[in-house]
Structure 1
Amino acid sequence: MAGSRFSSLFLCIIVFLASKVKAGGNTLVLLDNLAIKETHSIFFKSLQERGYTLTFKSADDANLLLIKYGEFLYEHLIIFAPSVEEFGGALSVETITEFIDGGGNVLVAGSTSSGDILRELASECGFEVDEEGAAIIDHFNYDVNDQGKHTLIVADPANLIDASIIVGPKNIPPLLYEGTGLVADRDNPLVLQILSADSTAYSYIPDQSIKEGGEKHKKSGNQQVVTALSQWVFKEHGVLRVKKVSHHRAGETTAPSAYTIMDDLVYTIEVEILDNGKWVPFEADDIQLEFVRIDPFVRTRLIKKQGGKYEARFKIPDVYGVYQLKVDYNRVGYTHLFSTTQVSVRPLQHTEYERFIPSAYPYYFSAFSMMFGVFLFSVVFLHYKDEPIDSNWKRKQMSTAKDDKKTKSD
């Protein structure tokens, strides 16, 4: 494949907006050796043409200085020194992170032999670099110029992040990639995965042989799997549909205009599956029905009947409103089966309430017992008569009283 490429891996690109944003600016470029200035001349020339002033220095230069008297000496920092173990001068990971926090921009490139200092810097940015010497290998997507290790990978532009403002348009030729792998924290919203490898790629040390063993069989199951898979992809298998839905009160056959609370409801649904071009009854035992008013009030399993019919019977709750009879069947390998039927539930009419409620029997008894007691009292009060007083007994009592009075006077 024609075209130029970088032999190193971009570890991370960190961009922070300063108070003044402008193209170009003073840029410090740290290199492993001055030869990189020539091998990457096209990249550096493009920067200079866009207005950047580049200052090239060795990454281990003893006079390196990024900050002086609390002021940044540069607006941008480029590190093309993957093998450096320690930065020279006053430059360190802490200094670089302080530079980033102050609004500076940093571009770092690494390789399969990235040193500890770059690994530490990558960790500060939310990445983890693969072990030293490991490279991304893909035995299916490698360039013809590869040296036999399949580390020169042809990357599809479709694997780029879906953000044209970062990577530009994707209608470009395939990319060439050679380098190590990165592990990114997916929970970190500040980490963006610019380019992802295909599923056939893996990370390993190319100079070491893979010693894992395999098994040998007389015949593989590829033919069966591929046949079944193609049938599923082309929708010969796994397609479901609802043939018919019905509902009614228990003991009836037609759906009412509205149900009443505490009614016994019967729900029936017929489900079919496409098999060899024909719709046949679908057999399953894990289909559920929900009786929903915002939240499910009833959730019950549909009982399988003959001919692909499923039935559920339940008592409507003592809460009126507008409900849905909902079947939501979503299983791996099958198309999504979804059916909703809206029904209304009204409260009891004044003529439908019970005349005697069992829980009120004590109150009924107390009321009737009070009425019976009043009735008995009235009968006794109306029919009771006093006995007549004997006149002789009265005179005798008066005579006795006079004798007692006379005796006291004597």
Structure 2
Amino acid sequence: MTSKPMRKPPPGSRRRRRVLPAATPDFECALKLLKLKRMRDYLFLEEQLVSNEWIMYNSMLTEKLSEFDRLIISQGFPSGAMKVAYFDELVDDKHAIVTTSSSDDDDDDDEGDYYYVGICSCVDKDCLYPGCAVLMSPFLDYGLLYPAASCTSDVLSRSRSKVGHIVFIVGDASDTKGVVKNRRAVETFADIVGLDEQIREVKELAELPHTHRYLFEDIGFEPPKGAVLLYGEPGTGKTLLAKGIANSISAKFLPVVCTELIKKELGEGPKILRKLFIVAEQLSPSVVFIDKVDAISTKRYASVSRTAQPKIHWILLELLAQLDFDSRSGVVKVILATSRIDRIDPALLQPGRIDRKISLPLPNKSARRQIFLIHTSKMTLENDVNLEEILIAQDGFSGADIKAICKEASLLALRDRREKVRHADFKEAKEKVMSKKEGRYPEEIYM
């Protein structure tokens, strides 16, 4: 039996074998993977660089500390004998002018003198600023007064040479501590009600030259650089308005305590005030807020005690000089506040020193209602609380009085171990605040 030949398909009709495509990753995924790998390599290099710099910094710090120890041993004095002085001026890379105060010097003859001293190599000269406190090696002996012909500055011509060195920057222990506190203002204009016209005027003088300076250049007028005087009865929002303008321009808020300037020795108040404006310019943009300015700017012919009169007059002259200083270019804004504008010396109220005097009146009924709503927005109140009854016939209420009423009502609720404040608490708190205001303080103080 013969086998049949295999049947071959006609040409062109043979089926082709299907070949599966090669499994390769998507192009975008591969590119993303390469980017992540490259980023990982860069981060690894950065980590190595930071660790190496940290090791070098520690070794450099150890060398500087050893140099500091060698300096102490070579001078022959213990580290506890060091004194605090205040940096005044940098003469060159290795020498500076410092001043001392009565609390730092044992000798009364050296109070307030200028001294020409050296600077150790371990001190970062970029961190030195006028008025900062520095730690000094003890002054071993005195030198002679430097001749004025060979001096580079007027301060150096009045300085005395001492064998001493600046070995450390204290910084926070400057003599402006207690007089001014540097902090950020968190209050905004949204927290102020009933003073729309006053806010607009303050914005035109303080905010507009800082944020839209080109508008003054287009109109061909120089932006105002003088101070702003806020006056009105206590509790009308003068401090709150100053904090609001500092927050709106993202500036440092520097409130000044005038009583600390007066309590200083004769001549120390103007010196601290001068250093305050230097620090404010270094922290620019900044807002210097001098509250109760009538305490340091009383009329020079007014009857003041003989002890305080010379101090106040010298501080007033220094304040006038700082307001006349025209090289700050608007980076430092000065805001003054007082409740007794009639006691201020007319020299301070001259145009150019005071750009605008803004009066802050007591809030009206609608403004008092808004202030009550602001202070009671976070309080838990009973349903019987009626703010309209509390606001009736209270034309003499200020914003501070309303805040005091809300605070006193909260304390009354806490005293009774209650979680909600009742209407009776507000009535009792109002009577308590009004009795304190009318009975304890004479009315003529706020006229």
Normalised-by-shorter TM-score class: under 0.3
Greater RCO structure (CA 8 Å; 6+ sep): 2
Question: Larger % of helix: which?
Answer: 2
